[in-house]
Structure 1
Amino acid sequence: MKPTHAVRQYHPLVILFCLTISLGWLLLAQTSSRPLVLATGSAPDATLTVCNNGCQFSSLQAAINAAASNDTILLMDPLLTEPFVTVNKSVTIQGGNGNAILQAGTTPANGSSRVLTISGPVTVSLADLTLRYGQADQGGGIQIDPSATLIGQRIWVTENTASGDPLQGGGIRNQGTLFLYDSHIVANTLKSSTMATGAGLYGDNGSETYLNNTVVNENLSISIQNQVRGSGIHMDGSLTAINCQVSQNHAWGQAGTNLGLGLFVTGEAALSNCEIDNNYNDANSNTPARGGGIFVYGDVSLFRTVVSGHQIGNGGGIVAYWNSSVLTMTESRVTGNRALGNGGGMQIDDGATVHTYRSTFDNNSAAGDGGAIEVKDGVLFFNDSLIDTGISTSQGGGIFVDAAGAAYLSNSTLARNSASDSGGGIYMVAGGNVGLFSVTASENRADSNGDGAGQGGAIYRGGTAGILLLSNSLIYGNDDESPFPYIINAPDCFGVVQSTGYNLIGTRGSNLANPSSPPCQIPDNNNQFGLDPLLGTLAENGGWTATYALGAGSPAINGGDPAGCLDPNSILLTADQRGFLRPDRCDIGAYEFGGYQLWQLHLPLVTH
């Protein structure tokens, strides 16, 4: 059963985390080698040293046992091998001469315990440390107990292994609160005969995890008899990540379906300026996979985040799943992902809801349906966004909407998508629902393999159940590449189309068998047909996403509804896709000719 989450009472250090970011944490990290010190009412009482010769202690555990609250412990040697270390006091542990290695064994195979256990209602700070070669049933590198807080600065958690049933956290298992700054969780392993969750990092239900400038890479989950969930990160609690990278994590499952190879979320996650890329299903895996980058089974927000380079069974980049799951994407990008089944960039299933704002899906592909997005069962609200060069070797190069799905596009562009069969831009199965509000669709292609089987270069509607609605939209310059002599040719749209009027359609297409019944059945009401809108090429014309500009004299200019262009909720669209203001009489499509920006702050989309 899906876990429930009570209203969260955030840890007091959350406030400090946010203030640290706002006041220039990056500058502090670059100019100081000192550990992060959190005020607890008094300065550290003492500094204790640990080394083989000449220090106060030869054992880290002995130093911890002797320490008082707020003391600092320095590891003076570059390498300390010591298993079974438990920290049950609020202390700082730091490499004394730069980075120090703390290991639970001398090789990855002979560690006799996890590296560190953080136990009790304590706040522990770690700095300039590598923690490796831990072995445990849960949390091979670090275990953070429910009442504990760990703050890590410039730490590496690497080459640790967890091998229990059920299995959680090869590198770190967090049941309390975790802050990581400028840190790495790399090359940790889970080995389980049942379900394997979080080879790099596992956050338990009720836990809080905060990552800043942290990398989670190359972690491996192995499940002999079951599935893998979240080879990089599995989050049942809450996750806040800024400037993160989750990359090249991989799964090896032998039953079921591996889910979310980079990140699997059943709780809450907010990612900003992150890269989720090139996570993969291991060649030895006998199970398919869904969600190469992210599997959303809770509430997830992505801000200026890139999901790229995955090749997986379904939902190449992202899967949003479950009827209470919500994914919100803002100024983000899903690019270069491939599905061996459906949904090259993203798959929406089991009643999930997805909102996009000022985001781009480009160069995604699927061997099945939905080169960029498959809405199998759920709702997509696509706002101020772009789908470009989605490729399906079946149906729906841009978007495939199944009978239980709905997609509502507003102030958005469908460009250069292609399907070997029908629906180069959008394919709607009978019973589905699609609404296009101030949308521009151009250069989309159906029947891209030229076998004569496909129609609807921009839009294809199958059957009459459900609703396909156009409002203030521009559908022009698309292609049905069915070879001549064709019976039906439908470059722009195919099927019955409802209209609120004020659309510009290049052509209704042709039907040689019945010339009076064109394949695109859209009423005349205040629509324009066969006129050239004088579109430019797809280009950066301002705003966050590429658009097709209208040329001077275009019939789309001031061709929108005199009462104003409305979104799917009948709310007035006061700006176009780029954020440029629309006047009282808007233009048709996603672009407003002669519009201007009231203001817009453009910060770079940071990638590592």
Structure 2
Amino acid sequence: MRNLLLLGLMVCASPLLAAPPVTYTDYNVANLNDSGPGSLRQVLTDALAATGNPRIRFSSSISFPGAIELQSPLPIITKGTVIEGAGMNQLEITRHASISSLRIFEASSGLTLTDMTLSNGRAETGGAILSRSTLTLTNIRITNCVAKGADDFGAGAGASGRGGAIAHVSTSSVAFFMTGCEIANCQALGGSGSIGGGYGDGGGLFFDHTGSVTIEYTNINNCYAHGGSGGTMPGAPGRGGGLASVAGTNVSAFTLNSVLVQNCTAEGVAGGGGWTGAGGYGGGMYFDTDSGYIKLGVRVASSEALGGDSASAFQGGDGFGGGIYLAGANNYLVIRAEIESNTSTGGSNSITNGPSHGGGIYAAGTGTVSIQSTRIWGNTAASGAGVTVVAGALTCGSSCIDNNTGGGIVLHTPSGPHAITNCTISGNAAGTAAGPNAGGINNLGTDLTVTHSTITANSGTGIVHSSAQQTTLQATIVAANTGTGPDLSGSIFQDGGYNLIGEYGDVVFVHGVNGTIVGGTGSPVDAMLGSLQYNGGSTPTHALGASSPAIDAADPLNAPSHDQRAAPRTDGLPDIGAFEFGAVPPSSGGNGGGGGDDGSCTTGTGGLNWLLLLALLAVLGLATRVRRV
């Protein structure tokens, strides 16, 4: 019996016992000199030459706050190393003002950095840090660093500048962990050349490897990516003002949780030599990956994708994805995010300005983009200011797309199908791009199904359909929009039943058929909607008034179990639209974006494992201690 008990305890506790304790050799930095005995440089040199994995700390006898001003590169990290600073506001490692170019850290093996500021680094790839192995950063601030590609005005092209703060580059599977960090005022600048410019990729962070990336509780602020000019050939784009993961990257897992990206810009260079301006893609973030899992729990705000101007007869450069640009064959999950006040701007030209699409999100990949529990609002573009999808499929749930200038959602893609469920699309203004425009949804592509959603107060028609495929509405409110229509306009709409259409326009929905409520020109149906506000849940909604005809009027046999706010539909008589009258959402629902999901939270089983481990240690009579050399 005792053996069985021990076996059970060992099985339950095995995840806690699997990894042996890491053994470090401790070293102390005694001063803040650039070189000489006791300096970080000398300690690091000695530690890398010795056996064992070094852990480097700063002596308490040093007078902080203080700075190390580097006049030459530090030794390259060639084995697993930990460097623990004295605090983000206490220790700064910076390039000396007399040195024109110097990167702070370069690592070919695992590196862990904590509690310090890195500043004024400058290199072609990774202004502050270039890592080719596992990199772990905790409580790190990186400011005023630049990745600048080399110029070539002979017979060549400019080189790319990648990762103003950090470049994480490897041909193998490596890991990147960042938590509690700040990246500010960093730039990735492409070099200029006589026959082409270099890319500016990742003003803050740049990734090109096949491993995993995890970023939590981190701010990326005021970073910039700009392409280089091309002389007699086209210049280059800027991609990912805050963060870029480039084409061909096959990151196995890319997870962002509670990350703030704001005031970042991706700008294409102005056209020269008779060429168009280059594009700006992903003012906040740029992803072009072909495999793996991408989860974005972020707030992206006040960022811009800016196309380069053109002085010739050619048009200005593209401005796509003011907040986020998504490409590649990967599937993307944007969850509990807030995409706010971003702008896509095409480059100017005296004849034709460049196109601007996707002020919030521009999706050009062939996979599925899933937007869940997210608010996309206040963004600006000529078309698809909230979300533009030009390839792949869109799945949108429990989200609010509101007050965007240039339309809420535009679907160009011939693939799909697309699905919008439990969403509010409100207060958006139609775009200015050529062709049909809608304030709410503009479906130019394939099949779209809109279920239990509320589409209202948009200027320029609620939904425009101009595709050979069809748009199906189920238990959805489309009312009180303005423009030609004003609620519905287009060719092939399918009444999936139990809708409320304020004014049908040129779309033939019949009042009373399939449970649908329809108003006509001059006699629209009033859905009796409240103002857009937080009524519980993570995103804003329009509450139903007590006398709304939408109450208890949806299909009792075919409704989602919860409304947009995660309030249960339990009375057997669901309401039309995204809001269930009288239902109470869970108290945990907030009104902020960028939280990600709760997958990182500890559950009760963790406590049980610890109890089992303690019991195992008691039975076996073991003692634990941390090994230190």
Normalising by the residue count of structure 2, what TM-score does the alignment of the two structures yield? Answer: 0.73
Which residue identity lines up with residue 130 of structure 1 in the other structure?
Answer: E
Residue 224 of structure 2 corresponds to 250
Residue 162 of structure 1 corresponds to 123
Identity among equivalent pairs (%): 24
Residue 418 of structure 1 corresponds to 429
Match status 1:338 vs 2:343: yes
Shift of 1:549: 0.8
C-alpha RMSD over aligned residues: 3.1
Contact 1:320–1:353 (8 Å) recurs in 2: no
- SS of 1:556's partner is coil
2:57 to 93, 107, 119: 93
Structure 1 residues 601, 490: closer, same or farther in 2, change over 3 A?
A: closer
Which residue identity lines up with residue 383 of structure 1 in the other structure?
Answer: G
1:143 to 95, 103, 106: 106
Match status 1:322 vs 2:328: yes
Residue 554 of structure 2 corresponds to 560
Residue 93 of structure 2 corresponds to 131
Match status 1:276 vs 2:265: no
Match status 1:190 vs 2:181: no
The structure with the largest strand share of the pair is: 1
Q: Distance in 2 between matches of 1:103 and 1:201?
A: 19
Q: Point out where structure 1 has 5 or more consecutive residues left out of the alignment.
A: 1-14, 17-37, 71-86, 106-112, 447-456, 483-488, 510-518, 566-572
Q: 1:151-550 maps to which residues of 2 (within 5 A)?
A: 152-163=113-124, 168-192=125-149, 193-205=158-170, 206-224=173-191, 225-236=197-208, 237-254=211-228, 255-265=235-245, 266=249, 267=251, 268-281=253-266, 287-298=278-289, 299-303=293-297, 305-312=299-306, 313-323=319-329, 325-340=330-345, 341-367=356-382, 369-392=383-406, 397-404=407-414, 406=416, 407-420=418-431, 422-429=437-444, 431-446=445-460, 457-463=461-467, 465-480=468-483, 489-509=485-505, 519-522=506-509, 524-530=513-519, 531-550=525-544
Shift of 1:353: 2.1
Contact 1:564–1:585 (8 Å) recurs in 2: no
Q: Distance in 2 between matches of 1:432 and 1:282?
A: 31
Shift of 1:478: 0.8
Contact 1:479–1:492 (8 Å) recurs in 2: no
Question: Structure 1, residues 354-378: CA drift from partner, whole Å, max 9, x if none?
Answer: 11221100011112x2121111112
Question: Structure 1, residues 61-104: CA drift from partner, whole Å, max 9, x if none?
Answer: 4444556999xxxxxxxxxxxxxxxx985131326322442333
Which residue identity lines up with residue 220 of structure 1 in the other structure?
Answer: Q
Q: Distance in 2 between matches of 1:64 and 1:386?
A: 51
Residue 566 of structure 2 corresponds to 579
Contact 2:226–2:237 (8 Å) recurs in 1: no
Q: Distance in 2 between matches of 1:132 and 1:41?
A: 30
Shift of 1:579: 0.8
Shift of 1:525: 2.9
Q: Distance in 1 between matches of 2:494 and 2:594?
A: 42
Structure 1 residues 67, 538: closer, same or farther in 2, change over 3 A?
A: closer
Residue 49 of structure 1 corresponds to 30
Structure 1 residues 45, 218: closer, same or farther in 2, change over 3 A?
A: closer
Question: Structure 1, residues 489-530: CA drift from partner, whole Å, max 9, x if none?
Answer: 444443321122111111112xxxxxxxxx113354321112
- SS of 1:563's partner is coil
Contact 1:88–1:122 (8 Å) recurs in 2: no
Which residue identity lines up with residue 282 of structure 2 in the other structure?
Answer: G
Shift of 1:120: 2.0
Residue 588 of structure 2 corresponds to 600
Q: Distance in 1 between matches of 2:545 and 2:32?
A: 74
Contact 2:266–2:281 (8 Å) recurs in 1: no
Aligned residues: 500
Structure 1 residues 547, 60: closer, same or farther in 2, change over 3 A?
A: closer
- SS of 1:501's partner is coil
Higher relative contact order, chain-length normalized (CA < 8 Å, sep 6+): 2
Contact 2:29–2:56 (8 Å) recurs in 1: no
Q: Distance in 2 between matches of 1:556 and 1:603?
A: 25
Normalising by the residue count of structure 1, what TM-score does the alignment of the two structures yield? Answer: 0.75
Structure 1 residues 342, 603: closer, same or farther in 2, change over 3 A?
A: closer
Contact 1:251–1:285 (8 Å) recurs in 2: no
Structure 1 residues 136, 470: closer, same or farther in 2, change over 3 A?
A: farther
Which residue identity lines up with residue 581 of structure 1 in the other structure?
Answer: P
